[in-house]
Amino acid sequence: MSKELMEQNIRKAGEAVEKNKERIRKGEMRQRYHFMAPAGWLNDPNGLIYFKGNYHFFYQHNPYSGFWDCMHWGHAISKDLIHWEDLPVALAPSEEYDDYQLGGCFSGSAIEHEGKLYLVYTGVMNTPAGIEQTQCLAYSEDGIHFEKYAGNPVLRAPEGVLKDQFRDPRIWKHENRFYMVCAASFHGRGQAFLYRSADLFHWSFQSILSENRGEWGRMWECPDFFPLGEKYVLTCSPIGVGDHTSICQVGKFDYKTGIFDCESVREMDWGFEYYAPQSFLAPDGRRITTAWANQWQWMPLFKDWGPAYKEGWCGFFNLPREVSFTKDGRISFRPIRELEQLRENPMHVKTLTVSDQREAVQAGDGVSFEMKFAIDLEKTTAGCLELELRSGKGKKTMIEFDLEKGELRVDRTQADGWSVGVSRSSLFLGGKKELDVHIYSDQSSLEIFTDQYTNNQSNNIFAGNDQNGVFFISRSGETVITDLETYGMKQA
Ligand code: FRU
């Protein structure tokens, strides 16, 4: 046990960030209003919480370079979820149970208890018998300086569960008990295990909260579990199911039995970049979730960590989204209203009829902007509406609202010479009068929300500032667009 070693490693990490952050800040691919680390690598959101007057975001972090390696917990605070103050690294590897170069302090969550902020995370160690992942605690009075619990680890993998596939504890309190859901792989099938505790330090297994027979993957990373209205929601990122990055299961839950009765499963976002979502409660009661705007799959394919890595950093969070049910009971994820404070240069057009002639649209500087409109499905005769974004220098990203096939596609095959793929989701248009669309474009990302925020796609693209054209084109007929609003988005 070495408190000094953790302090020393935090200092070292701080020096590395300090040395590089000014150069990195000037990187061309840096986002303008999405949450990022000041330097180095970022993946999963960890320990999201509102504590003593501030939102705290922690994140999986390599402070030394823009690639994944030896995980620390980065840390920042905010009053409004838009403007962030970076704080020193909160957790650094320092103990036998978490000091492994290809491991470290893996993902976890936070809870307030008796005025202290507790973090629960996965310690990853390398033993002669192989890699072992265990659940560990750290705590803090001020929410900035953390101390690891002397009795760590507090939880080890149960019999039959692979020791290197037991991680990402998500903690909460209900009545006078603490609960934790943990990701596990049981004979090659992803599962979520439920534990409970009276004191945070002693945990006992309660139930298998949810499992699958392989259709949803061999491991469920970063499970999250929360009440929403009368229901409960379990979210996770499954491994081994292609580009399905994050799923949500909605159902009923009984604390007495620990049984979660899943009624529906669907994807949270159909884009390529939405991974490891974690939610938290705002003081006004909103359930807000955010995710790592990326996924693991592309890395080995490219053997290259991408354009941001070349600038000394990599990774950002998706825009925080408020989770709720639509009037007809579908789960929806709507960007938080706090984002409106970044709007500038508003533009509004009541009705725009688009033909097969490219129609240019003014939207901020064409790089950092917000755009809202509806497609009038009654007056529209077109088979497909195309929206060409980040267009210039012979490159472009296409959003295709295919009204004939009932499909929304984001095609980034010509986006930037680096990004690949066409992401797809179904558009259910039967009986609808209009289709609502909401788009956020930032320096390196596009997030599209449609159908009352139930059908969303997040994708990253790495285009320069000279790719700033925005155009509509209508195929096989005319498209009638109503209430087109655009705004430039200020730097946060
Ligand atoms: C998900 C994940 C987690 C793990 C962390 C390591 O992206 O693989 O399961 O705790 O990243 O950085």
**DSSP bridge pairs for 269:** none
Token code pair at residue 456: 């969303």
Average pLDDT rounded to a whole number, residues 155-162: 92
Verify whether ligand 1 is closer than 6 Å to residue 311 (CB atom).
no
Query: What is the predicted pLDDT for the residue at 299?
Result: 58
Going by pLDDT thresholds of 50, 70 and 90, the confidence category of residue 243 is: confident
Instruction: Clarify whether residues 302 and 383 are in a common domain.
Output: no
> What phi and psi, each to the nearest 5 degrees, are found at residue 12?
-60, -45
Verify whether ligand 1 is closer than 6 Å to residue 76 (CB atom).
no
- Spacing, Cα 208 to ligand 1 middle (Å): 21
Any idea what DSSP says for residue 301? H
- Spacing, Cα 288 to ligand 1 middle (Å): 20
Going by pLDDT thresholds of 50, 70 and 90, the confidence category of residue 301 is: low
Verify whether ligand 1 is closer than 6 Å to residue 184 (CB atom).
no
Using DSSP, state whether 311 is helix, strand or coil.
Answer: helix
Q: Which pLDDT tens digit goes with each residue over 88-104? A: 999 999 999 999 888 99
User: Which atom in ligand 1 lies closest to the alpha carbon of residue 221?
Assistant: 9
Average pLDDT rounded to a whole number, residues 422-448: 97
Mean pLDDT over each residue of the chain, to the nearest integer: 96
Using a pLDDT cut of 70, give the percent of the chain over it: 99
The CATH number for 348's domain is 2.60.120.560
Average pLDDT rounded to a whole number, residues 234-258: 94
> What phi and psi, each to the nearest 5 degrees, are found at residue 224?
-135, 145
Using a pLDDT cut of 90, give the percent of the chain over it: 92
Instruction: Clarify whether residues 132 and 43 are in a common domain.
Output: yes
Query: What is the predicted pLDDT for the residue at 1?
Result: 53
Token code pair at residue 222: 């970063």
> In the listed set 307, 331, 355, which residue is the last one of a domain according to the structure?
331
> In the listed set 331, 357, 372, which residue is the last one of a domain according to the structure?
331
Question: Which of 42-46, 88-92, 293-297 has the lowest average pLDDT?
Answer: 293-297
Q: Which residue has the tokens 């390529």?
A: 272
Q: Which pLDDT tens digit goes with each residue over 24-34? A: 999 999 999 99
Instruction: Clarify whether residues 319 and 374 are in a common domain.
Output: no
Could you tell me what percentage of the chain is helix, strand and coil, using 3-state DSSP and rounding each to the nearest 5? Answer: 10, 55, 40
R_g of the chain, CA atoms, integer Å: 23
Domain holding 400, by residue range, is: 340-489
Verify whether ligand 1 is closer than 6 Å to residue 318 (CB atom).
no
- Spacing, Cα 102 to ligand 1 middle (Å): 11
**DSSP bridge pairs for 469:** 391
Q: How close are the terminal C-alpha atoms of the chain, in Å? A: 40
Q: Which pLDDT tens digit goes with each residue over 364-421? A: 999 999 999 999 999 999 999 999 999 999 999 999 999 999 999 999 999 999 899 9
Q: Which residue has the tokens 């655009």?
A: 486
Query: What is the predicted pLDDT for the residue at 296?
Result: 82
Pocket of ligand 1, candidates 42, 107, 298: which has the most ligand atoms within 8 Å of its Cβ, to mutate? 107
The domain tally of the chain equals 2
Instruction: Clarify whether residues 98 and 71 are in a common domain.
Output: yes
Instruction: Answer left, alpha or beta for residue 115, where phi above 0 means left and psi between -120 and 50 means alpha.
Output: left
Q: Annotated catalytic sites, by residue?
A: 44
Detail the DSSP E strand segments found in 85-129: 85-91, 104-113, 116-127
- Does residue 303 have a pLDDT over 80? no
- Spacing, Cα 221 to ligand 1 middle (Å): 7
Verify whether ligand 1 is closer than 6 Å to residue 60 (CB atom).
yes
- Beta-carbon contacts of 327 under 8 Å, excluding residues fewer than 6 positions away, are none
Q: Which residue owns the Cα nearest ligand 1 atom 6?
A: 106
